A and B are shown apart, each in its own frame.
Chain A
Amino acid sequence: MILKRPFFWLILVISGLFVYLPLRGHDVPLREDLVLVAIAIILASNLNLMIGYTGYVNFGHIVFYGLGGYIGFYLTSERGWNLALAALAAGVAVSLFALLFGLGILRLRGAYFALATIGILEAVRAFVANFNPWGRSTGMYLSFEAYKVLGGAQRALWTDYYFIIFVMALSLILSLRIKISKFGLGLFAIRENEDAAAVLGVNTTVYKAVVYSVSAFLPAVAGVLMFYKNGMIDPFVAFEFMLSLEGIVMLMLGGQGSVTGAALGAGMYERLRSTLLTSPKLSDFHLVIAGGLLLIVVLFAPGGLIGWLYRLVPRSQKVIE
């Protein structure tokens, strides 16, 4: 029962704070900081379903976010759809796309799968960069009409922010729900030993394809909301390989396989990156520092922050999922 888990209520409290804090003083700069953190948390927790739960390294996770963004952008701006409806439609479409591709490439294991995900990301990016209705490599700008539906740009951005926090809460709840389900147990079995899992009756093909597809849904919705907020989209921001890899860095930092780990790693990395990028002295070196941090985690603390906490206080596993 998910309601009996203290962690479930913790998610609600934290999401509540995300809404309350910027709203209290109508603090737009704070909202803009938090929205980046929320997006990072959404991407990292859904990536965690693949890497942390199932043990499949997805290098091209950002393709879901970018594709969702494009579909949503097209629907809201060119077709005049309602934002929530467009987000839902984009989520469903991208999930179906993932299911289709997942059935193909999930026959591959280990490094071969990781390489195939890079191939898909690059192929989709190349396609979108040549696709006429989506503005090819110059991308698209949001028509101002799309904001009017939600009561003008200012109000639309606040509404959009609440949607994003809602999706963040859903991502965390989804991670928790899968973790305590039989489905999640099957995924963990695949992670530990796929052949043994298959022998014991886990339908590995279906499990893998479903989790790949599920991990695509909320990032696609987040893509719609984020690019609606930004008001512009192009293939290079939508399908940035670096962002895909940074998602993996976030997971490692916090601790893969743990719901809190993914969220914590995402939050910390995002804040670190923003601080480094805005500091005049260190902005050139933000990649060096992030890379060094990643190397230290990989070599000395492969469990990440949460792995370290679990070792230090074993009882914490009961509360911090």
Chain B
Amino acid sequence: MSGIFASMLDGLLIGSIYGLAAMGLSLIWGVMNVINLTHGAMIALGMFGTYLLYSALTTSPYLLLLPIIGGGLILGIVVYWIAIHWVIGRPMLMSLLSTFAINMMIIGTGTALWSTSPYNVNFSLPGLTIGEYTFTGNHIAAASAAVVIALALQLFLSKTRPGKAIRAVTDNREAAELMGISSTTVLALAFGMGIALAAASGALVSTLFPFTILSGAVYQLKSFVVTVLAGLGKPFGALVAGMLLGLLEGVVTPFIAVSWIPLIEFALFVVVLVAFPKGIFGKAAS
């Protein structure tokens, strides 16, 4: 019985990282109605960024989160000006395709640089033993970091002026502009932050599992599932939904083969989309 408990707890820890990745996707969707298909590539860049920095500096990879987040923010703003700004307000297909084009270019360059063979960040913190089960220190540290970043984002959105501007633009872009908010700056900032979150979640994953340049795709798909569970455009709900997804994985792992999990997740995804298009936490009307 305690085996399930341990597995659930482990799922919860991993789930907070799914949640972090999904928060970025959700933020971008909420502010500018763009489904960011570069997300997987950015998660992968976060992994490789951590790998490269760690190889060069050999400090704790959790300290390296700061430069990774900063780099993600800048990269996101650059990508916004290259590929997003011009398709805002055009049909959905256009932003899907322009972000997908950036995704192809990043994955292509990454494959050329690092091939598709696995890398790993060779770092481990002492674990925590409860009874007969040991939780690795990295899992605990990564999950804590994810929660801290998520709380920081929530504080930023609710307390600071730029954060409030982002929320205003999310609610109603025209009205926000009439109140003197430069929506272009806000969109660029929000996109940058979304990418920074993706990179940060990639950095955290890289301390847990080996990864390749293509690994981001798995987490991008999980982010879709999580974002849809939470309701598109609800960043904090995404963290909770991420943990729920992790918990679900933890609950079923002891009973069925791991290879069945994607089927459960994606079937759930489609069902939730059709039955609750506003997410399970979503309010009925808007």
Contact = CB atoms under 8 A, between A and B. Distances in A.
A67 B221 CA distance: 21
B267 interface: yes
B9 interface: no
B102 A295 contact: yes
Interface stretch (A19-27, A123-131, A306-314): A123-131
Contacts of A291: 100-105, 108
A287 B108 contact: yes
A320 interface: no
Contact of A107 (B87, B97, B274): B274
Interface residues of A, number: 43
Interface stretch (A9-17, A111-119, A201-209, A215-223): A111-119
A110 B94 contact: no
Given A57-B92, A115-B224, A298 B112 contact: no
A105 interface: yes
A187 to B, nearest CB: 16
B277 A112 contact: yes
B263 interface: yes
Nearest to B264: A126
Contact of A126 (B93, B101, B109, B260): B260
Contacts of A252: 97
Interface in B245-286: 257, 259-263, 266-267, 269-270, 273-274, 277
Contacts of B94: 298, 302
Given A104-B274, A116-B273, A288 B109 contact: yes
B267 A123 contact: yes
Contacts of B112: 284-285, 288
Contacts of B269: 115-116, 119, 123
B263 A108 contact: no
A51 interface: yes
Contacts of B273: 105, 108, 112, 115-116, 119
Contacts of B108: 284-291
Given A112-B273, A119-B266, 6 more contacts: A116-B269, A122-B266, A288-B108, A294-B97, A294-B98, A302-B94
Interface of B: 29, 33, 35, 82-83, 86-87, 90-94, 96-98, 100-105, 107-109, 111-112, 217, 221, 224-225, 228, 232, 257, 259-263, 266-267, 269-270, 273-274, 277
- Interface pairs A-B: 9 shortest CB-CB: A287-B108, A291-B104, A123-B266, A284-B112, A126-B262, A288-B108, A126-B263, A295-B101, A291-B105
25 contacts: A57-B92, A105-B273, A111-B96, A112-B277, A115-B228, A115-B273, A116-B269, A116-B270, A116-B274, A118-B221, A119-B266, A119-B267, A119-B269, A120-B270, A122-B262, A123-B263, A126-B261, A126-B266, A130-B259, A248-B97, A284-B108, A285-B112, A287-B104, A294-B104, A298-B87
